[in-house]
Copies of this chain bind each other. A is one copy, B any other.
Amino acid sequence: MTAEIICVGTELLLGDILNTNAQFLSRELAELGISVLHQHVIGDNPQRLRELVAQAAARSDLLVFSGGLGPTEDDLTKETVAQAFGDTLAFDAAEWDKIVAFFARTNRTPTENNRKQAMVPVRGHKIPNDHGTAPGAWFEDGRGHCAVLMPGVPREMKAMWAEQIRPALEQRQNCTIHSHTLRVLGGESSIASKVAPLFASANPTAAIYCKTGECEIRVTARAATAAQAETACTERLAEFRAILGDAAYDVDVPGLEYTVVRLLREKGLHAATAESCTGGLVAQRLTGVPGASEVFGYGFVTYAETAKQKLLGVDPALIRRWNVVSGPVAVAMAFGAAAASGAELAVGITGIAGPGGALPGKPVGTVYLTGADARTGTGWLQRLALSGYGERAVIRARAALYALDMLRRMALALPVPGALPVTSATPAETIDL
């Protein structure tokens, strides 16, 4: 099956908004095994709309529209598509009642224009909209081609897609589809090369999406039943995890901080943060997780040297001797944060986020990260070279990601690749990396 996505809206043509609907629909259609050959954005001009619909309907099996269902006279998408698919529209009293009720709830009265929104296909059918005023529409011509019209507001469009359109298309494709997303630390090229054969599979499919310092691998299985699809997904995820090892940190979570908070809670542990160059980014990510207060109580943003001394007990002589951006200072920060907070685990981060501040032998992007475990007095020290990433924001984001991973690995008692084992008493001269 081939498809075209048509987004209707002047605000898209003016660049006032980003077309996230097109990406969402493309991804979803790809998962359904439907090939998207064209995406279009077009305004409310009837002539141009008519030409585009005629072309698209002639060459593709499925047209997916978002936008153009509004109440104004310019919104002619439904009328135009009806005509192209040899259908007509009729007033639907039940939809009109819903629109009137929707307005009443927000103390408004619909205008005569809104009646347009209650017009529904005669041969095709309406698609209920439980999240807004305008119903969607489904048209079919005699040749098995069809067109689906949805609202342009992303929230309404996504809900209508998930609740009504996607299930109908699954039925048409005669299958059920399940997806899960595995999150993996590392860059796309290094990950993709390890698991390349698994990406070649036609079912389940796997797609990789690159984020800062990590990737998402989305595995999608098509099968006759939900249970079969779920099993196929789970088995494929296990294959990915077997190859990727502990760089693959979780499934279906929004980010690493969710995994860290869950692990700390499961293990009955608490974490504290001592941040210099990341300036509160690690604390902010941890506290972004609902319920983080169970496992996180203290975050120290020690940007000034006196703050490192007063709040974390870092010896000023240590800073003078080794520089504030150094292994010995990171170690003192992490163990100092654990002591000051009473948390079992703590991270200390000091580095040069740039653009200024480079030191001899320590370019912008040099970051020292320590994880301290107060239960054993042991920990890890890692020197990160994030110089290649240029931007201050990216260097900080990557350093924060490494810090979260340090907490994850300590909670799971996993080794930290590329890090040196340390204790609070390790002599400074041995950790001047």
Inside 8 A of A280's CB, which chain B residues have their CB? Answer: 273, 275, 280-284, 287, 299, 301
Closest residue on chain B to residue A341 by CB atoms = B307
For the complex formed, measure the closest distance between the CB of A240 and the CB atoms of chain B, giving whole angstroms: 18
The tally of residues in A whose CB lies under 8 Å from a CB in B reads: 70
Chain A residues 330 to 349 lying within 8 A of chain B, measured CB to CB, are 340-342
Q: Does A20 contact B (CB under 8 A)?
A: yes
Closest residue on chain B to residue A299 by CB atoms = B301
Closest residue on chain B to residue A284 by CB atoms = B280
For the complex formed, measure the closest distance between the CB of A6 and the CB atoms of chain B, giving whole angstroms: 10
Q: Does A414 contact B (CB under 8 A)?
A: no
Closest residue on chain B to residue A39 by CB atoms = B41
Stretch at the interface among A23-31, A89-97, A114-122, A165-173: A23-31
For the complex formed, measure the closest distance between the CB of A323 and the CB atoms of chain B, giving whole angstroms: 15
Q: Does A138 contact B (CB under 8 A)?
A: no
The reply to whether B273 and A301 form a contact with Cβ atoms under 8 Å apart is yes
Inside 8 A of A355's CB, which chain B residues have their CB? Answer: 290
Inside 8 A of A283's CB, which chain B residues have their CB? Answer: 279-280, 283-284, 301
Main SS at interface, chain A: mixed
Q: Could you give, for residues 390-405 of chain A, a 1 whenever the CB lies within 8 Å of some chain B CB and a 0 otherwise?
A: 0011001000000000
Inside 8 A of A396's CB, which chain B residues have their CB? Answer: 288
Q: Which of B48, B282, B296, B297 contacts A306 (CB 8 A)?
A: B297
Inside 8 A of A371's CB, which chain B residues have their CB? Answer: none
Given A288-B393, A303-B298, A26:B13 Cβ within 8 A: yes
List 16 A-B pairs, Cβ < 8 Å. A12-B23, A14-B30, A16-B209, A19-B23, A38-B41, A39-B41, A273-B280, A279-B284, A279-B287, A283-B284, A284-B284, A291-B356, A296-B303, A297-B302, A297-B306, A310-B340
A contact residues vs B (CB 8 Å cutoff): 12-20, 22-30, 36-43, 45, 48, 52, 207, 209, 273, 275, 277-284, 286-288, 290-293, 296-304, 306-307, 310-311, 340-342, 354-356, 392-393, 396
Given contacts A19-B22, A275-B280, 20 further A-B contacts (CB under 8 A): A13-B38, A14-B30, A14-B207, A15-B24, A15-B26, A18-B19, A18-B20, A38-B42, A38-B52, A40-B41, A273-B280, A280-B281, A280-B301, A283-B283, A288-B392, A288-B396, A290-B354, A297-B304, A298-B303, A307-B341
